[in-house]
Structure 1
């Protein structure tokens, strides 16, 4: 497959032509770009077969600042092909579903090309769909079944960890403002989309608004290899190094303080049995851990439409300081759905996200440089190790939801202290996300 950017550009060109001709192909209420296959798609869904196909494109250009201020435009793309099966309808298996998802990523990252000092380890990214290789991947292949009127749900197969734990909304293009946070700070043991791993989890809804989840997932470095497409479909467990075990308590209330509007609040912890290197001593530890808090609340409702209004979310992660480069992350986001009566499905978003680098890592970097005779930032020396502290990401965006099939999201991003290196000039980035559901 050639670059997904070409596919995205072609799709947009086709859409623009259809708009100009006022053809129903581009109508504002179209569910899928290619329609419902003369009614067959809806018929298949009624029989238990639901198919999805989508292209996501994220372009970004550096307006000012960064390590290299020569302007360029970089695009990252992702193709997603999926299917969900209602096995109650198909085979009579009550409360049982299955999922299959294949993904392909392509393109380049503006952060790697222009924003960061190439000698420093990457923290944030201006394009959240970049990463984990330009290869095809089996992202999901699982089956889930429910018991006791679906109060207990059991899931097993290949899946991403943030599908069911530390999950969060994605209303932004910036990496740390989108989705689950753990995979962005402890990516060696926690694998976000599009990486799938062998795992299983159990969710128990013990009260109407309360549930408890427990999972077990393999820690296998083979799952994040990126040399060839076969790496994305590797199903063996030959090099498993341990297991990541998350536990999460979730509360979904309708709070009277917010006019009985819905929210979701989750606290969780994980324990990994895989060995991890101690940052200070260099010795191997037999485990590591993390804690998190996810909170999302609808604050207002616009008129009688329950989906329109102001939303707020906070996500925080605290990692094992002895073994982790990023000690913690914090994310605060606000977005307003349906800001205009003429555009009830659009939204405006503003988000702030921060990486906090472990001070033990900073101290080690300083000591390494001093041992090499460097007592200040050296922009030229190849063996100089940039000193990393905190990185702050800010994004303001507008989501233009032309139809359920087509979304455009222009955005402006500000990166303070890229990769935590204060000597690198703060960066301003303009971005554009596009998603087309086929």
Structure 2
């Protein structure tokens, strides 16, 4: 925690807290510029289950600037979006439990600063828009604001499966991208995008600033069609999306080495695969009850299935609810719960079985990892939200417990998430 407090970005955030009221009073931000500064922290502890018990924390600081070029310079229907983030901390799931699905949505494998987005978007008068620049796939496809009413990475930021299987670029990683979207009206839309796939860009030291061209190993294409409404045009807002991803880079086998043998038994690297990685997804958000203002109860469901090359996850499903407006006078508080099932492929399970055998154990881990989370979002003040949560992991996968010779005990996780949105806090 002391390292967290000494981080220069945390100190910068503290300075913003101190100076915020004066900045808000003076304003000084030209029309056409929208500034965002967010601090999100996660702390998680597993008093029960896992390889061992412990507590870990992680956080990010995100700064974003949006420029409306029409307002600023008269460039019709055109805007620029620049986003940067800093990540730090440790992962409870990896360090203490041994499984691959993080309980902390703020943790990332590569710490430090990163340019997460730099795009130009132009909206044509006929319903078409085009976005080009540096961007992550998951900021535009298979996304919903309900995903991050939780702390578990099984739901936030992207429902689990596609990142592991397809290698889609996900916040904070970005690559060259172009996205074409058509809005048929204020409800129906369709979009498609092409993203450079270059895993080297995600390594430490790159910081999202490697703008090289033509050095990737494939292209990720994504397609989505959807129907969405809001409180502005629907008493019971709803969102339905279906889509697919395709990565022309075939990825690695979960089981075989280059000689066709078990990589877990030979100790060799898993083999590269020909062909393509393909996955399909569907999601639904449906408001079912509505009270005064925007107090409501929404149900949601998510599904992902791998249909291309063999990959670690065969399919993922989740469902849950979000109640916005809980007790009297708590219109912005949320009570939310989800339960998910991640089904690992036969090859992934066989790899983990053989690795266990090589270390003197026997048997195979369960192919289904079930995760549930119950969270309460307390709107402490405009721009400040605390989210205590309980997570329970049944059949934790042992992907990050390489010497484990028996099943990992089911884990209870006690978590706390804190969100500070400085623009809301100070009225920027």
User: What band does the TM-score fall into relative to the shorter chain?
Assistant: 0.7 to 0.9
CA offset digits 1:390-429 (Å, max 9, x no partner):
2111111111112232111111111111126881111111
Out of 142, 166, 177, the position equivalent to 1:199 is 177
1:264 aligned partner: 239
Other-structure match for 2:41: 57
User: Which residue number in structure 1 is paired with residue 51 of structure 2?
Assistant: 67
Q: Deviations over 1:111-148 (max 9, x none)?
A: 122111xxxxx431110110131111000111111002
What pairs with 1:6-405 in structure 2 (closer than 5 Å)? 34-35=20-21, 37-41=23-27, 44=29, 47-69=31-53, 72-116=54-98, 122-148=99-125, 151-169=127-145, 170-181=148-159, 185-186=163-164, 189-226=167-204, 228=205, 230-237=206-213, 239-252=215-228, 260-279=235-254, 282=271, 284-303=273-292, 305=293, 307-320=294-307, 322-367=309-354, 372=358, 374=360, 376=362, 387=365, 389-405=367-383
Cα distance, 1:346–1:283 mapped onto 2, change above 3 Å: closer
Q: Distance in 2 between matches of 1:373 and 1:132?
A: 26
Q: Structure 1 pair 283/428, CA: closer, same or farther in 2 (3 Å)?
A: closer
* TM-score, normalised relative to structure 2: 0.84
Q: Alpha carbons of 1:292 and 1:192: their partners in 2 closer, same or farther (altered >3 Å)?
A: same
- Cα root mean square deviation, aligned: 2.9
* Cα deviation 1:180-222 (Å, max 9, x = unaligned): 2266643662011111211010110124421110100010012
Q: Is the 8 A contact 1:388 1:420 kept in 2?
A: no
Instruction: Tell me if the contact between 1:333 and 1:352 (Cα under 8 Å) persists in the aligned partners.
Output: yes
Between the aligned partners of 1:33 and 1:297, the Cα distance in structure 2 is: 41
The 8 Å contact of residues 161 and 316 in structure 2, kept in 1 or not, is answered as no
The whole-number CA distance in structure 1 between the counterparts of 2:285 and 2:106 is 23
In 2 relative to 1, CA 391–93 (structure 1 residues): closer, same or farther, beyond 3 Å? Answer: same
1:29 paired residue number: none
Distance 1:153 1:251 in 2: 17
CA–CA separation in structure 2 for the residues paired with 1:77 and 1:153: 34
- Answer whether contact 2:134 2:177 (CA < 8 A) is retained: yes
CA distance in 2, matches of 1:423, 1:316: 27
Deviation at 1:273, TM superposition (A): 1.2
CA contact (8 A) 2:166 2:277 kept: no
* In 1: Cα distance, 2:41 partner to 2:19 partner: 16
Distance 1:389 1:240 in 2: 32
SS at match of 2:29: helix
Bigger drift between 291-300 and 398-407 goes to 398-407
Give the gaps of 5 or more residues in structure 2.
Answer: 261-270, 400-405, 423-428
**Does the CA-based 8 Å contact 1:188-1:221 persist in structure 2?**
no
Conservation of the 8 A alpha-carbon contact between 1:337 and 1:345: yes
Asked if the contact 2:51/2:408 (under 8 Å) is kept, the reply is yes
| Structure 2 contact 93–100 (Cα < 8 Å) conserved | no
CA distance in 1: counterparts of 2:201 and 2:9, whole angstroms: 31
Q: Is the 8 A contact 1:398 1:411 kept in 2?
A: yes
1:8–1:57 contact (8 Å) kept in structure 2: no
Query: CA 1:10/1:275 → structure 2, altered by over 3 Å: closer, same or farther?
Result: closer
Provide structure 1 residue ranges, at least 5 long, that are not aligned to the other structure: 16-24, 27-31, 117-121, 378-385
Contact 1:302 1:309 in 2 (8 A): yes
CA distance in 2, matches of 1:433, 1:241: 37
1:89: Cα distance to partner? 0.5
Structure 1 residue 97 displacement after superposition: 1.2
